[in-house]
Structure 1
Amino acid sequence: MRSGTHTLILLGLAAGIAACSTAPPHRPSPQVIPVDRDGRYALSEDAAPHPDEVPPDLNAIPDAVPRVEPRARSGNAPVYEVFGKTYRVLDSSKDFRERGMASWYGKKFHGYRTASGEIYDMYQMTAAHKSLPLPSYVRVTRLDNGRSVIVRVNDRGPFHPGRVIDLSYAAAAKLDMLDAGSAPVEIVALDPLASTPPSEHWLQVGVFEDPISAVVLRETLTDQGHPGAQILIEESERGTLHRVVLGPYTDIGTAQSLRSRLSDLGYTPSWIRP
């Protein structure tokens, strides 16, 4: 925050050269991707893990943390073909946004290679997409309940009509869509350089003009196991604002995990710089 005076009060706590030519442009033949995987794609239904196989802290698995990575050596052909249909891979995920139906994939692919060459782990925060570069990072928000997760796209799919993204079992669990099997979502690509929180790792959980509302939220957070909740008072042109914050956190993984847990509780936490 750069405007106003802040007081921290502890209240109980690749460009190329174009050549002129009359010849038609070269169009590479699509790469045919073998997606049968010993018949797993032919199965009409995926399988969830047995309850004994599910980690007890499934909903506490932290979101993927966006970071700069090179493009995967496999899975990034400019065009590819699956089941006789041609798909094109984007040059970049910049400004990508999409809405549609999300589904999830689980046990029948668990332990097998993804399109990027990595091994699919249904307990990691990953996803499959038809056109985003591999890897990419996206925020997936379920539109009918507001829940949101950050996943790393490292696979191709889904190739069923009407679906825009396949989420890992863990990601689907955090969006509460395992039973339904699919849900309406919005996908927003994240820029790893812009998605890194400030070095202080402070999380704003709520902001109010009314100080009593801020105190109530602080006490609620304390009761929920966050005794470090504090209120930051900001004097600005809009008047006095009371920001309920948690932090600072020195480890980005810890901060991202907390942000995800708060989102699961219905909050909309955001990074701030006190």
Structure 2
Amino acid sequence: MAVAVLLAGCASGPRSGGGGGRDGPGASPPSNLERVPDAEPRIEPIRGSGGTSKPYTVLGRGYTPITDDRPFRESGLASWYGRKFHAGSTASGEPYDMYAMTAAHKTLPLPSYVRVRNPANGREAIVRVNDRGPFVDGRVIDLSYTAALKLDLLRGVAPVEIERITNEDIRTGAWRRGSDTMLAAAPVYTAPAPAPAPAAPVYVPPPPMPARAAAAPVAVPSAWVSTVGTNAPEASTMPVAPPAAAGPAPGADDEVEPPPGPRPPMVVNALPPLAPAAAAPPSGPTPAAVAAAAAASLAGPDTPSAGFWVQLGAFRERGGAETLRAQAARGLPALAPQLRVFSEAGTHRLQAGPFASRGEAGEAVSQVRESLRISPMVVERR
């Protein structure tokens, strides 16, 4: 019963992501949404207990919100929610505004600030987390419509990397960097339909996120990293967070500042695997052939040949690229022998190729987009 009450008032309760079904962008969205500024981080006290800091259970799984000012990084799938939840109450009690730069997360403090990066195109955005969700396996963050538009994620769920901006980062100004203005010059997403390949497809990765000396990654149970949801649960949909009435109103005893001294360890989650794709038709490669092709690609050269390549993603850590390669090999067995991970200047790029012409690469882009629900790009190497 307590769980049902908890979910009753959240804007992002159990739902399907990506704006599908009854959800979407709205009939007349405001113009120039791509120019909406990122959320401006400011110090907001973290509740030590009660309200949105209380452990909770959604769809039979328990979640424990973070209650200190620890660094936090996570990789996984991002989705977005739109008109179906617009103006509804979020877990923090604030109304959900699909045109603001906000997001939902299962365990981060409410509110808090997160830098979200789309490794497929290098775009970044800063959002304010004020809601709970998503509660679908493998998804780590639920973005507002505008945040998804700026990151070019409106086509559906896609891999992202997120990093919490701590109160200490805000106090010292460490969260600021030159790339925080890069979105103004980034290509603007114009429509949900597949976009043509860029005329000059040369990918330039953003500068690396600042390292933190005290942030040592530690392994934790996968169920630990997640937070709360919303409306009545629907099958295989994405929930959101508890209503304002779920806990006592904030009081002086509830507001706590992080104690001085060393920071707690950083939590890092690996990118969870996507659901297995449908079995290939009898005429396609067998599982043994796919495994052999993957092994051959692992043994292949790390130096790309000249020609046209399809880039599926770029990562700061090679493990992320290898995870996406395994998913792509399962979903597109015919493409498995052409998948390579190239490590250049601290960035690990997953690319397929080489293709003799841009037209052949474009056909591969369509296959990847349909099968994996990500937005690849064509890169010409000479």
Q: Do Structure 1 and Structure 2 share a fold, with TM-score over 0.5? A: yes
Using structure 2 for the length normalisation, give the TM-score.
0.43
Partner of 1:101: 77
Q: Which ranges of structure 1 fall in alignment gaps of 5 or more residues?
A: 1-29, 206-255
Cα gap change, 1:82 to 1:165, in 2 (>3 Å): same
Cα gap change, 1:38 to 1:262, in 2 (>3 Å): closer
Q: In the aligned structure 2, how far is the partner of 1:260 from the partner of 1:75?
A: 35
> How is 1:13-162 mapped onto 2 (pairs within 5 angstroms)?
34-36=6-8, 41=13, 44=16, 45-51=21-27, 53-71=28-46, 75-162=51-138
Cα gap change, 1:163 to 1:84, in 2 (>3 Å): same
Q: In the aligned structure 2, how far is the partner of 1:170 from the partner of 1:145?
A: 17
Q: How far does the alpha carbon of each residue in 1:208-259 deviate from its partner, in whole angstroms, 9 at most, with x for none?
A: xxxxxxxxxxxxxxxxxxxxxxxxxxxxxxxxxxxxxxxxxxxxxxxx6x45
> Offset at 1:203?
7.5
The answer to whether the Cα contact below 8 Å between 2:105 and 2:132 also exists between their aligned partners in 1 is yes
Q: Secondary structure at the match of 1:154?
A: strand
The answer to whether the Cα contact below 8 Å between 2:54 and 2:65 also exists between their aligned partners in 1 is yes
The answer to whether the Cα contact below 8 Å between 2:116 and 2:161 also exists between their aligned partners in 1 is yes
Q: In the aligned structure 2, how far is the partner of 1:191 from the partner of 1:82?
A: 26
Q: In the aligned structure 1, how far is the partner of 2:132 from the partner of 2:10?
A: 17
Q: Secondary structure at the match of 2:147?
A: helix
Cα gap change, 1:150 to 1:161, in 2 (>3 Å): same
Q: In the aligned structure 1, how far is the partner of 2:10 from the partner of 2:36?
A: 30
Partner of 2:185: 262
The answer to whether the Cα contact below 8 Å between 1:129 and 1:153 also exists between their aligned partners in 2 is yes
The answer to whether the Cα contact below 8 Å between 2:77 and 2:138 also exists between their aligned partners in 1 is yes
Q: Secondary structure at the match of 2:184?
A: helix
Q: In the aligned structure 2, how far is the partner of 1:40 from the partner of 1:132?
A: 15
AA paired with 1:137? Answer: Y
The answer to whether the Cα contact below 8 Å between 2:80 and 2:144 also exists between their aligned partners in 1 is yes
Q: In the aligned structure 1, how far is the partner of 2:168 from the partner of 2:154?
A: 32
Using structure 1 for the length normalisation, give the TM-score.
0.58
The answer to whether the Cα contact below 8 Å between 2:12 and 2:131 also exists between their aligned partners in 1 is no
Q: How far does the alpha carbon of each residue in 1:81-135 deviate from its partner, in whole angstroms, 9 at most, with x for none?
A: 1122111101235210000001001111100000000000000000000000101
Number of residue pairs matched by the alignment:
185
The answer to whether the Cα contact below 8 Å between 2:53 and 2:67 also exists between their aligned partners in 1 is no
The answer to whether the Cα contact below 8 Å between 1:141 and 1:185 also exists between their aligned partners in 2 is yes
Q: How far does the alpha carbon of each residue in 1:10-49 deviate from its partner, in whole angstroms, 9 at most, with x for none?
A: xxxxxxxxxxxxxxxxxxxx86653255998465435212
> Offset at 1:77?
3.1
Q: In the aligned structure 1, how far is the partner of 2:119 from the partner of 2:102?
A: 19
> Offset at 1:268?
4.3
RMSD, matched Cα = 3.2
Partner of 1:184: 159
> Sequence identity of aligned pairs in percent?
46
The answer to whether the Cα contact below 8 Å between 1:127 and 1:168 also exists between their aligned partners in 2 is yes
Q: 1:165 aligns with which of 135, 141, 147?
A: 141
AA paired with 2:165? Answer: L
> How is 1:226-245 mapped onto 2 (pairs within 5 angstroms)?
none
Q: Which ranges of structure 2 fall in alignment gaps of 5 or more residues?
A: 189-203, 209-382
Q: Secondary structure at the match of 2:53?
A: coil
Q: How far does the alpha carbon of each residue in 1:36-83 deviate from its partner, in whole angstroms, 9 at most, with x for none?
A: 5599846543521235x2111110000001100134697523310112
More helix by share: 2
Q: Based on CA coordinates, which of the two structures has the bigger radius of gyration?
A: 1
Q: In the aligned structure 2, how far is the partner of 1:147 from the partner of 1:78?
A: 34
Q: Secondary structure at the match of 1:59?
A: helix
Q: In the aligned structure 1, how far is the partner of 2:94 from the partner of 2:206?
A: 32
Deviating more after overlay: 71-80 vs 109-118? 71-80
Q: In the aligned structure 1, how far is the partner of 2:105 from the partner of 2:159?
A: 15
